[in-house]
Each structure stands twice: as C-alpha cells, then as structure tokens.
Structure 1
Amino acid sequence: MSKRGDRLQNKGKRGSRRAAAERAASRTPAKKRKTSARADEPSWIWRWTKRVVLWGGAAAVLGAIFLAFAVGFAARSIPSFYQLKSTQNAQTILVRARDGSEIVELGPSFGEWLDFDEIPANMKNAMIAVEDKRYYSHFGIDPYRLTGAIVEGFTGDDRIGGTSTISQQLARNIFLNSNRTFDRKAREAVLAMALEWKFSKEQILELYLNKVYFGGGAYGVDSASRTFFSHPATDLSVAEASIIAGLVKAPSRYSPTADVNAAVARARTVLRLMREQGYITERQASVNVDTVELKEQVGQNSVRYFTDWALPQLDILLPETFAPIEVWTTLDVGMQRAATASIESNTPNGSQGALVSMDRDGAILALVGGTDYVETNFNRATAAMRQPGSSWKLFVYLAALEAGYTPDDRVVDTPVTIDGWSPRNSNGRNIGETNLRSAFAYSVNTVAAQLGNEVGFGTVASMARRFGISSPVSTFPSMVLGSSEVRLIEMTRAFATVSAKGEGIEPYGITKVSTADGELLYEREKPRTNVIVADYVVAGITDLLQTAVQTGTGRAAQIGRPVAGKTGTTSSNKDGWFVGFSSGITTGVWMGRDDAQPVSGLQGGRAPARAFAAYMRYAVKDRAVEQFDTELNLPEWRLEPDDEYLFGDPDDYYFIDEDGNLIEPGQRDPSNNPFDIEGELRDPPVDQGQIDTPTVDAPPAVSEDFLERATGGALPGDRERQPGQNRERSPAPQEQSSATVPEGVRIIRPRRAAEEQALAN
C-alpha cells in the first residue's frame, strides 16, 4: 500500500477512536464527570496559594524594610535623653495665701527629677505590673496587645485603648496627642520602637515615671507624691506607690482628692497584680490602703473662683515668661473657708450665691463665685451682671448729702410720678413726713425717687462712676431703685470706699510674684490716695448705713459690733443683696438664680444678710472693735451759705447796690468795703448801726424779678416801693449769717452744681 494510503488509514483510525471516546463520554453519568473535575481543583488552589504567599512575603519584606527605615528615621529625629529630661510642656504657678501658705498649684507640676536608681523599686514594679507586664520582653509594642487593638478596630469599637505599652505611652505623652485613631496608633507604635532603639529600658522607664500625668496637675512620681502625700517620691510606701500607679489609667476618676473610695479600690487592684507577678509578698499585698494619709486640700473648690479672677492679671503685671512662678496673694485661707460655708449654708435651694470681701485698702480677703466650682465655674462675684435693687440707693443718698442734705432733714414719703414713672414702696403704703435717716433705713422708694429727681439722675450716675461702678448706668428715673445691672465686686468696692472714709480704692489680689528660685518679678506698690467725697458726706452716709442695720431692713446683719450696710431686693425677688462693712472689712453678698427667675422668700434682709453676718463674725474676730465716725462737721459754707463766697478777695465778687446797679469785680471803692478778707467786719461804726450809703435817685438797672432770682429768694417788703428805698434781705430758711451785710448791697454768688441740676430738672 502506498504511503498516502497509510496516512489516510491512520487518520481514519484516530477519527474512529475520538468518535468512540465521545460516544462513551456521552454514556458516562454526570456524577462521575463532577468527580473527575474536582480532581483537578487542588492544583488550582495550590497555584493561587503560592502566589499569595510569594506576594505577601514580598510585601512583608518591603513593609519590614519600610518600617525599619521609618523607625530608624524616627530614632534619629528623637531628641537626646538629656534633652527630653529638660523639656517642660507648660508653665506651673504656685499660688500662696497672704500668710505664705500654699493654697493651690496650677498648670503642670513636675516636681524633682528622679534618676532611675532614686525611684523606689516598689514604684517601678507597681507601674510595670499594672501598665505593661511584658515591659522587659517586648521591643516597644506588645504583639498580644497590638492584636487586640486591631481586632477592636475591625469589630467597630471606637475605643482603641488599653493596649499601649509604657514605651507607647511615653511616645504619646511627649510627641503626640490623645486621639484614638489608627493613624495615631501607627505613629505611636513607630515612635515607641524608635525609643526602644535609641534608649535602654531603664532610661525609658525613668523618662516615663518622671513625665506621665497622675492628675491634679502633677506630672511625674515626685510631683504626684508631693501633691497627694506631702512628701517626695523617694519616701513612697508600697500602699502609696499602688495609689499613684493606679492613677495613670484615669487620673480624674481615681484621684484621691476627688474620690477616695475609687482611689483605694484601684490601689487594691494594683497590689493584687503586683502579687500575681511576684513583685511583692502576700503580706505586702494585704496592706490597708485606707490608712494612707492624704495631703489636706485646702479650699480647692472655691479658691478657684479667686484664682480665675486674679491670675489673668499676670499678663499685665509680668513680662512674658514660661518659667515656674510663685504668686503671693491677698487671700485669707480661714476667711475663704468661712465665706464658702456661709454661702453654702444660707443660699436658698436651687439658687446660687456669691461673696466678695475686701480689706480697707482693696485687698481681696475672700471670694466665692458660686455654691460649687466643680458644678459650674461661672464666677458670679466678678462676672455676673445683676440688678442691685435698693443697695443702689447708696449713690442716690451720697449725691443728696453732697448737695446739701443732712440725715436729720425732713422729707415726705408720698406718691410721686416722674416722667410717667410712679414708684411704689415695697409695702404699698406711704408714711408721710419723716427724716432722711429713716427713709434710708427703711428703704423708702418714693423718697429715693424724689431725691434722684432733685439732684439729677445724671448726678447719681456720676456719683456711681466716682465710686468705681464701671458697668453701664442708665439715667432713666427708675435707675434710683437699682435698675442698672452691676457686678458684685463693683458694689463691694463702692461700699469699701465709704469704709475707707471716702478714699478711692482699687480691688487687688496679687501682692508679689517671684520665680521658683526666688527672683522677684513683681511687687505691688501702694497707690496714691484719691479722695472721692468730703468727710462730712462720708459721715452722713455712714450714719444712714449704720441705722439701716441697727433698726432698718438690715437688722439680720448685726454681729455684736458696729455694722453699716444696705439691703437690696429686686422685683419678684429675683435678686437679694447685702453689702456692708465693719472693723475695716467690707463684704458684699448676692443670691439668686442664674436664669433670673424669682426665688420664693428671697430678700436682701434675709438670706444675704444672714450669710453676711455668718461670715463677718469670723472675719472680724481678731480685729479691734471700731466705732463709726458719724459726726457731721459741716464746712462753713454749709453752716453759713450766704457767707461762703465772701472768703477770699472781696473784689472777686459781683455786687448790686441799693438801686440795683451791678458792680463788677474790682470796680468797688475799697474804702467803702466793710469786710475784711476773711469775711469779718472791719472796725464797725461806733453805734454798730447801719452804714449810711448815698441815695441816688436813678431808675434801677434791672427788674425786681431779676433781683429775686439773683439773690436767691423773694424780696421782703412792698414791691411797689419807690426807687432808692432801702431794702433788707430776709435770710433763707435754715441759713444764718455771721456777718452783717450792708444795707442795699447784694451778692450774686455762683450757684452750686446741685442747684443748677435742680433748676434744670
């Protein structure tokens, strides 16, 4: 057979075999075919597994290389150990009371730096036991804890915490913030490994124990030991070390000054972990941490109201500095405690109370801005704006006394209407005629309104400004009853000015500032005295204020020694005030609600006056009893108004002769002057009679109405009398003249400001 034939024959055989195989396959069951397909799968999975392993391994190698570069770069950029030791994150301020005792330390406190060998072993072991039990075996991150963090992240737990090693915590404290995110955790891990790369375990632990935050402003074990136990960390006992170590997890929650029970429970957990890890014996673990003596925290709560007011003034008093400083203040620790207790025990439920107490020179002795600083740090003593009510009448009566009134002057309590405003007394009644002293003591509103209208509302506002009121003051008629909002510290300052016999004072709380090394940075200088009002005005208002406490609305403020003060109550009992002074100490008390809602039964003469008395009994106990000077030594112009303007050179005054002719200053004939320079008569005629003056038959230069206005009153006698007839002026009521004025001679004196204001109104 030819070759071609052979090929055809072979091809035919192959086709027959293929066809036979296809027919056999078509007759094979489906189940057998699937079994055959599965037999090929292992080879496919194996191929992809090898690929994942290879690529994953390569990625891991690249990641390790990248991590190594990142850690190495971070390690090179980390400051040296000695640089880290010297870094301090913020300024610390130690605040001292007026006697030099420490009352509070603000800002981070780092205490003394302790080398690794100086830190007690129990302190180091306690920290490792509770924070990082595998500290000496890991390389900066703990794989077990890191895995837990990753799992927490994938399971949706927002809190990726409780997984950091001591190295990570140190990295976070020095270089990072506390945001709990994967990005921050990754950077934290890199920095932790960099720290392990660059420093030894002992150096890392030394840095950590000297820099970690333990609460109460304390950074580092030495500061924590001094803050909570009043001794350096080198003297820490096992129990004290367990308390400090337990603070790191939650400084505010486990602080012994905030919650002793929580701190003790946490300390027991630390002792148990130390025992389980072999750091202490069973006997040491059973120590009673309840017996640990904690440092007494003096007035930590309410003192912060004072420091919040005083310390911002350092920005003005000092040059810019970040060095630790010590601030000596005017605060009296005992008075601060008494002030806090008086506010807490007398403030009505649901209300707030505030107190400011200052010495006669303006030094703040106690300051309470609320019933609880932790609950709310809003300072109601220095920041809250509230209506002062009748305590504002201080300025109304000061203006009236300066304008010529005396405490014994008669006034009338009667219904009045001023520019459409009709004030009413609190009891709804009017008592008729009374004196100024009683009207003030019983806080008669209608009399205050009349006085304000007479002297001028602008004059009252000006008086308030003179006494240190810097808040906006309206000049509407209702302002005389305290409608303008003020701060408690302003009103206290005004009353303290009265206590200081009219000398203006400036409230202050800082006496000196020095560095921790003793370098003096600031010392307060005594300011120049500035007299605000005359002595007789101070005596008059002191008389009124004393009467208000003795027999008036402020009787609840009596303390067994002379007290002068004034109550204040606003409409619907929204605010209650009492401000007063005794033995050189002035104290103001305010009570009310922050939302300005009415408080049932709140009146200035009740709870505020009682709080004032409770505090002042303690405040003045070591001071001498001082009687008030209420004797009115009126100036001569007040006693003899007509002669007031005769003092000085007589040629300085205008004169009107008997015919009404106006004689200008310097134009009189000195030889005819019957007065000496001091207002006394020269040698009078022998008969002591009237001085004859020539009669000139000439028409008067001015009308009779003008003469009446110029001389201050109606002229006696017949208005129809002829020109040239002698006239004699009758003295004004309550005026007495010590000199005899020549007949026919008139004096036009400048009208006092109060009179001008009265005429204008």
Structure 2
Amino acid sequence: MARTARPRTAAPRPRPAAPAAAPARPGPGRAAVAGSAPARAGVGRRRAWFWLRLLVLVTIWGSLALAAVLLVLVWDLPRTDLALSQTRRAGVTLEAANGAIIATSGDVHGQIVRLPALPAHLPAALLAIEDRRFYQHLGLDPIGIARAAWVNWSTGQISQGGSTLTQQLAKNLFLTPERSFRRKAQEAVMALWLEWRFSKDELLEIYLNRVYLGAGAFGMDAAARLYFGIPATRLNLWQSAVLAGLPKAPSRLNPRTAPEAAAGRAAEVLGAMVEVGTITQREATLAAESIRIPPRPSRDSGWFADWALDDLGARFPGNADLVLRTSLDLRIQAVVEQRLEALLAGPGARAGVGQGAVVVMQAETGHVRAMAGGRDYRQSQFNRATQARRQPGSAFKPFVFLTALEAGMGPGDGVADGPINLGGWRPGNGAWRSQGQITLEEALTHSVNTAAVRVLARGGGARAANATAQRFGLPGPFPRDATLALGTGEVTLLDLVAAYAPFANGGLLPEPRGLVSARADGQAVAAGRPTLLRVTTPEYAAAMRQMLESVVTRGTGRAAQPPGGRQVAGKTGTTQDFRDAWFIGFTAAPPGTGGGTLVLGVWLGNDDATPMADVRGGTLPARLFRDILETLVRPSPGAASLSR
C-alpha cells in the first residue's frame, strides 16, 4: 500500500539582527545633543553667516558714511586747477639805485626755480628741518604724527608739528590758516590728492616756489633777493639754512626785523642737516660761524618808498608784477639817517628839537637821492619832508630877491636897512645893526628883514613875488602883504629843495622824481623821463647863485661851510619864536654820489609847533648840512657799513 507523502517544511532561518536606530534629527522642539560634532558645525555655520552679513552691512554703511564725510569735506574746497594758477595781488618791488631791494608790496614772487638749478643744500636743508620722511610717506606721515604727539606730550607744550611738507603745501595752495578739525581733515584730503597728482620732485619744486617767507616774499628766489640781494641759485649753505628755517614763523624769524632769531633758527637747521647726514659737523660749524645777517639797506627809507609808490595805480595801470628801480642812493641815505639821529639825540635834544627832515636831490634831473621824513619811520610814518606844510622864514627870501632882479635891480644896488613901519607892523632885524644903506647881496647875505621888505616892494610887491614862487613850483598858500618877504607862507621841504635847483643849474626847474626805470612782468615799460622847465634866465640864476654863496662864506650860513674850501651856496630860515629852522643849500656832488649838483634841504622843529631853544637856520640845520656833506666826502666806517 502506498504511503502518503508529507509535505516538507523549510527550517526557519535565523533573522539578522535589526540595525541600530539612526539618531533622530533634531526637529522643531527637539534639542540636539550637546557637544556633538554636528551641533558644533551648525553653530559655526550660523556664526559665519552672521559675521558675513555684519561685514557686508558695515562695508555698505561705512562706505556711505565715508562718502558723506568726504562730501562734507570737499564740498567747499577750491577748484584745484584755479588754486594751482591762483590769482594774487600784483607784486611791487622797489629797488635802490644799485639794485638792492628797499621795499615790497603785494605778493612778491621771484623767478621760477627748478630743482637742478638750485644748490643741493637748499632743498636738503628744507627737508631736514620740515619733513625728513618726505620721500617715504604718501602725503600723511603716521610716524611723524606719533613722534610729534610724544614730544608735545612729554614737554607739556606744542613744540613740534606732525604736518608733512605736502600737507603744508596743501594748506598754502588751497586752504585758509583756520585752526579746526575740519580744516585739518581737508588738508589731509588735499595732501593725498597732491601726492597722487604730482611726483615728489614736482611737489618739492612747487613748495620752493610758493612757500611764504615773510615781508611779502613768496618762494625761495624772492626771499633770497629780498634778504641777501642774490638769486636763489647763488645761495651758500648758511643762507640756505636761514631761508629753510623761515616757514615755521616767517614774521617772527624775519632776518630783517629779527636777525638774531633768524640766525638761531639757521643753527637749528644746520644741526638737523647733520642728524640726517646731509652735511658733516665741521661743515655745520663753519656755516654757523659764517652767518652774517645783512642789515636793512636803510632803516628809514620807508618815507622815500611811500612817496615813490604814491599814485602807482594811475602811473602803471593793470595787474602786472612791477620791479621799480629808484634814484635812492643807499650810501647817502645811510649818512642822512645817521647824522640826523646823532644831531637830534645830542644838541637837538638839549635845544628842544623833537623832529627833523632831510631831502637830497640832484639838481639836473630832480632825482631824489635820499629822504628822511622824520626821526624814526617805525614810530611815525608821517612824512615831514613831503606832507608837512610849514613857514620857511627867510629861506623864502631868494624868490623875493629874484623878483627884484627880474624887475631891473642888480646884486650891487643899494637898499635901506633901517626900521620900517607898515600900518603898525614893524619887522625886526635881530642882531643886525642898521648901516643905512646896503646892497641887495648884503641884505640877502645877512638876512636883513627890513631890507627884504623894501626889496619886495621894489620888485612889484607880494603879487609879483607870489607869481615867482609859483613859477618855481611853490604852490603856497602865500599871504598877499609885506609879511611875505619874511617867509610867512607855507611850503614843504621837498618843494623848497626843488625850487632852489634852478639857482644851481642855470634856471631850469626839475620835477622831483623817485623812479628811474620800471619792468612789468619782466618787460621794460616807460617810467617817465626827467622834465625840466625854464623858470628864469641863466644870467639871473647865476646872480642868485653868487648871492647864495655869499650867505655861506660870510653871512648867516657860515656854519654850513665844510672844511677844504668846497664851494657851497644856500640860505637859512627861521620862523617866529624859533618854531621852524631851515637850511637849503647846494654844492657839487661828492665823488661816488652820481655827479652833477646836489641840493640838500634840512628842516628842524616839533610836530606841535612847540618853540625850540634859540634854534635858528644858521645853527643846527646849517651844522647838519655840513655834517652830511663832510661824511659824504670822507665816509666813516659806520656809514660805509650801513650803505652795504
């Protein structure tokens, strides 16, 4: 019997172990396990994203803020193209007859100088004292700023600045001297622009030609000519040191007004050059020992300068830089100043003389060779030679006597010298004793008042004498009565000196002149030529000259006669109560003073017309005339040093 087969069942297979459950991702509301690596990575990514976003925001807003700041700073900055070619006040340079600069006005610029043409020690001196890292920084010098801050903090005072030379140039070219944070920030901006726009050598060259160095001088060449009388290309080491030291304080270190301070600053510059290795210590020592700041060409030539520059705009219209050569002779000017001060400080002080004025003129041309308008220009700029109108006293008598000569009288004709009474007016004769009858020449020689009144009448009276005086350039006002014979009108010293010139040069009246030649922007322009007007005949002029020579040889002007027999002609003048004392004279020009004939006028008195103590024209004024003439003939060492 067959067996029924049972179906086979497979043996159960062992199940593999269930895999470990994967860590659950932190979802909302589920915190990550602290300290795990994925948690740290997530935090790092979030922080990086946060800082990235912050950096972008700071960059954007910082750029906007920086742009706003720059906009505020540059909003009112001048246009650089206009600033680099800036307009300025026309410069006027006044030169003496020998070319020395005696005065400047406006903005005076010298020749444009190039670095290769300058002595190497000039830019080296400037960089050593102003900006040693000039060729290393980019316009701003953090190291220099930090050093200056440390020095100022340690000393407790502002003794050092941190501005670079480029910053100084930016300030000079574009900005005002205002002290504020905003102006300083603008200076930094412009310094960076200048460094981008120009090379270092170009910046240094611009600075050397634009820096202000005192007394109206801009640039090294103008300052070299002003202070030393030479172009910048000829500066020696100590002169370069003096100029390099000026930018710190141009007024306080001005070599003309503060020579000791300028020399001290130059020594500092030389020391700085040694520190940077530009020169050796021996070179610095020798240069410091050689410093000789030249004196001003003239202490009181300001009166002449003011007069010479008067009405300049009308004579030279336009805006050109002018260089005017004048007739001023520095040697004569120095002698005049020296002798006037000596007289006022000595015998003048004892006699109550407070002021004086002197004019020296060449008779043939009218060129004024010297002018002192008072005792000290620094104390008073009022020009007593050209602005003060005073009574000339007997110094007016030559015009009265000339009128009589032209009316037909002669020097030998007689005139009464006795007392005279005109409606109660009785002029006196001082110490003169009446002789009854004297010649016209004797009347003028001894300045006899009563005779002069009679000469006035015989010459046609006050009207005729007035006409003569006006013909000789004396505008008055003059009285129209007999007192005119005694000089009761009003004149200036300059006009009176010019009016005496025809007696010296054959009857020709010159116009007083101070300018000889002129250059406008380097080109010669017309400065006018001497004008001569015939005001009397050579014969009458010769007769008057003879009479005026007699005044000096044997009359009231004897004190004016210098030793050696030099021929001098002139006339004294004294007003009532000794309020004014005059001497006007002329003689052949001493050697070295330009030749021809010099007319020299002296006035002494007081501004408030206070009487002096018996000072007459034949005393102190005549003595001053002689002293000046004597010194010019034999110049003293002091006068010679002043004239250099």
Return closer, same or farther for 1:69/1:370 CA change in 2, 3 Å cut-off: same
**Aligned 8 A contact 2:263 2:291 in 1:** no
Q: 2:501 aligns with which of 496, 516, 532?
A: 496
Please give the alpha-carbon distance, in whole angstroms, between the structure 2 residues aligned to 1:539 and 1:121. 63
Displacement of 1:547 after TM fit?
A: 1.8
**Aligned 8 A contact 2:355 2:604 in 1:** yes
| Secondary structure, aligned partner of 2:510 | coil
Unaligned runs of 5+ in 1: 1-56, 622-761
Please give the alpha-carbon distance, in whole angstroms, between the structure 2 residues aligned to 1:355 and 1:126. 44
Displacement of 1:585 after TM fit?
A: 2.6
Corresponding residue number in structure 2 for 1:241: 240
**Aligned 8 A contact 2:552 2:559 in 1:** yes
Q: 1:106 aligns with which of 99, 104, 107?
A: 104
**Aligned 8 A contact 1:113 1:222 in 2:** yes
Corresponding residue number in structure 2 for 1:204: 203
After superposition, the C-alpha distances for 1:252-294 in whole angstroms (9 at most, x for unaligned) are: 4323344432222112223344555666655555454131355
Corresponding residue number in structure 2 for 1:576: 581
Corresponding residue number in structure 2 for 1:387: 391
Aligned runs of 1:34-53 on 2, under 5 Å?
none
Q: Supply the AA of the counterpart residue of 1:66.
A: A
Displacement of 1:515 after TM fit?
A: 4.3
Displacement of 1:499 after TM fit?
A: 1.8
Q: Say if 2:220 is the partner of 1:221.
A: yes
Corresponding residue number in structure 2 for 1:513: 518
**Aligned 8 A contact 1:390 1:443 in 2:** yes
Q: Say if 2:297 is the partner of 1:299.
A: yes
Please give the alpha-carbon distance, in whole angstroms, between the structure 1 residues aligned to 2:480 and 2:623. 32
Corresponding residue number in structure 2 for 1:602: 615
Unaligned runs of 5+ in 2: 1-58, 589-596, 635-644
- TM-score, normalised by the number of residues in structure 1: 0.63
**Aligned 8 A contact 2:73 2:186 in 1:** no
Q: Say if 2:475 is the partner of 1:470.
A: yes
**Aligned 8 A contact 2:365 2:530 in 1:** no
**Aligned 8 A contact 2:363 2:505 in 1:** no
Corresponding residue number in structure 2 for 1:173: 172
Corresponding residue number in structure 1 for 2:332: 335
| Secondary structure, aligned partner of 2:519 | strand
Please give the alpha-carbon distance, in whole angstroms, between the structure 1 residues aligned to 2:96 and 2:126. 35
Q: Say if 2:371 is the partner of 1:367.
A: yes
Displacement of 1:133 after TM fit?
A: 5.8
| Secondary structure, aligned partner of 2:421 | coil
| Secondary structure, aligned partner of 2:370 | strand
Corresponding residue number in structure 2 for 1:586: 599
Q: Supply the AA of the counterpart residue of 2:389.
A: M
**Aligned 8 A contact 1:140 1:195 in 2:** no
Return closer, same or farther for 1:426/1:291 CA change in 2, 3 Å cut-off: same
Corresponding residue number in structure 1 for 2:401: 397
After superposition, the C-alpha distances for 1:203-226 in whole angstroms (9 at most, x for unaligned) are: 433322221122344322233344
Return closer, same or farther for 1:97/1:592 CA change in 2, 3 Å cut-off: same
Q: Supply the AA of the counterpart residue of 1:68.
A: L
Please give the alpha-carbon distance, in whole angstroms, between the structure 2 residues aligned to 1:118 and 1:333. 31
Q: Supply the AA of the counterpart residue of 1:218.
A: A
After superposition, the C-alpha distances for 1:39-71 in whole angstroms (9 at most, x for unaligned) are: xxxxxxxxxxxxxxxxxx999987643331245
Return closer, same or farther for 1:578/1:181 CA change in 2, 3 Å cut-off: farther
Displacement of 1:424 after TM fit?
A: 2.4
Please give the alpha-carbon distance, in whole angstroms, between the structure 2 residues aligned to 1:282 and 1:377. 46
Corresponding residue number in structure 1 for 2:19: none
**Aligned 8 A contact 2:139 2:164 in 1:** no
**Aligned 8 A contact 1:352 1:594 in 2:** no
Q: Which has the higher contact order (CA 8 A, sep 6+)?
A: 2
Return closer, same or farther for 1:487/1:75 CA change in 2, 3 Å cut-off: closer
Corresponding residue number in structure 2 for 1:654: none
Displacement of 1:227 after TM fit?
A: 4.1
Please give the alpha-carbon distance, in whole angstroms, between the structure 2 residues aligned to 1:400 and 1:572. 28
Displacement of 1:566 after TM fit?
A: 0.5
Return closer, same or farther for 1:620/1:248 CA change in 2, 3 Å cut-off: same
**Aligned 8 A contact 1:218 1:224 in 2:** yes
Corresponding residue number in structure 2 for 1:541: 544
Return closer, same or farther for 1:508/1:234 CA change in 2, 3 Å cut-off: closer
Please give the alpha-carbon distance, in whole angstroms, between the structure 2 residues aligned to 1:298 and 1:160. 30
Corresponding residue number in structure 1 for 2:567: 562
Q: Say if 2:485 is the partner of 1:480.
A: yes
Q: Which moved more, 1:434-443 or 1:298-307?
A: 298-307
After superposition, the C-alpha distances for 1:138-173 in whole angstroms (9 at most, x for unaligned) are: 755979979999xx9xxxx9x999675534433443
Please give the alpha-carbon distance, in whole angstroms, between the structure 2 residues aligned to 1:420 and 1:128. 82
Q: Say if 2:434 is the partner of 1:421.
A: no
Displacement of 1:598 after TM fit?
A: 2.9
Please give the alpha-carbon distance, in whole angstroms, between the structure 2 residues aligned to 1:539 and 1:284. 64
Q: 1:406 aligns with which of 390, 393, 410?
A: 410
Displacement of 1:354 after TM fit?
A: 1.9
Aligned runs of 1:427-466 on 2, under 5 Å?
427=431, 432-453=436-457, 455-466=460-471
Q: Which moved more, 1:105-114 or 1:208-217?
A: 105-114
**Aligned 8 A contact 1:358 1:366 in 2:** no
| Secondary structure, aligned partner of 2:390 | coil
Please give the alpha-carbon distance, in whole angstroms, between the structure 1 residues aligned to 2:161 and 2:489. 55
Return closer, same or farther for 1:266/1:437 CA change in 2, 3 Å cut-off: same
Please give the alpha-carbon distance, in whole angstroms, between the structure 2 residues aligned to 1:620 and 1:278. 52
Please provide the CA RMSD for this pair: 4.1
**Aligned 8 A contact 1:358 1:507 in 2:** no
- TM-score, normalised by the number of residues in structure 2: 0.73
Displacement of 1:488 after TM fit?
A: 0.7
Return closer, same or farther for 1:171/1:215 CA change in 2, 3 Å cut-off: same
After superposition, the C-alpha distances for 1:451-471 in whole angstroms (9 at most, x for unaligned) are: 435532222222210110124
Please give the alpha-carbon distance, in whole angstroms, between the structure 1 residues aligned to 2:233 and 2:546. 62
Corresponding residue number in structure 2 for 1:289: 288
Corresponding residue number in structure 2 for 1:68: 70
Please give the alpha-carbon distance, in whole angstroms, between the structure 2 residues aligned to 1:200 and 1:73. 26
Structure with higher Rg: it is 1
Please give the alpha-carbon distance, in whole angstroms, between the structure 2 residues aligned to 1:266 and 1:567. 51
Please give the alpha-carbon distance, in whole angstroms, between the structure 2 residues aligned to 1:576 and 1:429. 22
Corresponding residue number in structure 2 for 1:48: none
**Aligned 8 A contact 1:327 1:510 in 2:** yes
Q: Which moved more, 1:121-130 or 1:404-413?
A: 121-130
Q: Supply the AA of the counterpart residue of 2:472.
A: F
**Aligned 8 A contact 1:275 1:281 in 2:** yes
Q: Supply the AA of the counterpart residue of 2:169.
A: L
Return closer, same or farther for 1:118/1:224 CA change in 2, 3 Å cut-off: same
Q: Say if 2:250 is the partner of 1:251.
A: yes
Return closer, same or farther for 1:552/1:180 CA change in 2, 3 Å cut-off: farther
Return closer, same or farther for 1:174/1:338 CA change in 2, 3 Å cut-off: same
Q: Which moved more, 1:238-247 or 1:561-570?
A: 238-247
Aligned runs of 1:76-225 on 2, under 5 Å?
77-79=79-81, 84=84, 89-98=88-97, 101-104=99-102, 106-107=104-105, 108-115=107-114, 122-132=121-131, 137=137, 139-140=139-140, 165-178=164-177, 191-192=190-191, 194-196=193-195, 198-199=197-198, 201-225=200-224
Q: Supply the AA of the counterpart residue of 1:249.
A: K
**Aligned 8 A contact 2:411 2:441 in 1:** yes
Q: Say if 2:343 is the partner of 1:346.
A: yes
Please give the alpha-carbon distance, in whole angstroms, between the structure 1 residues aligned to 2:582 and 2:334. 21
Q: Which moved more, 1:57-66 or 1:550-559?
A: 57-66
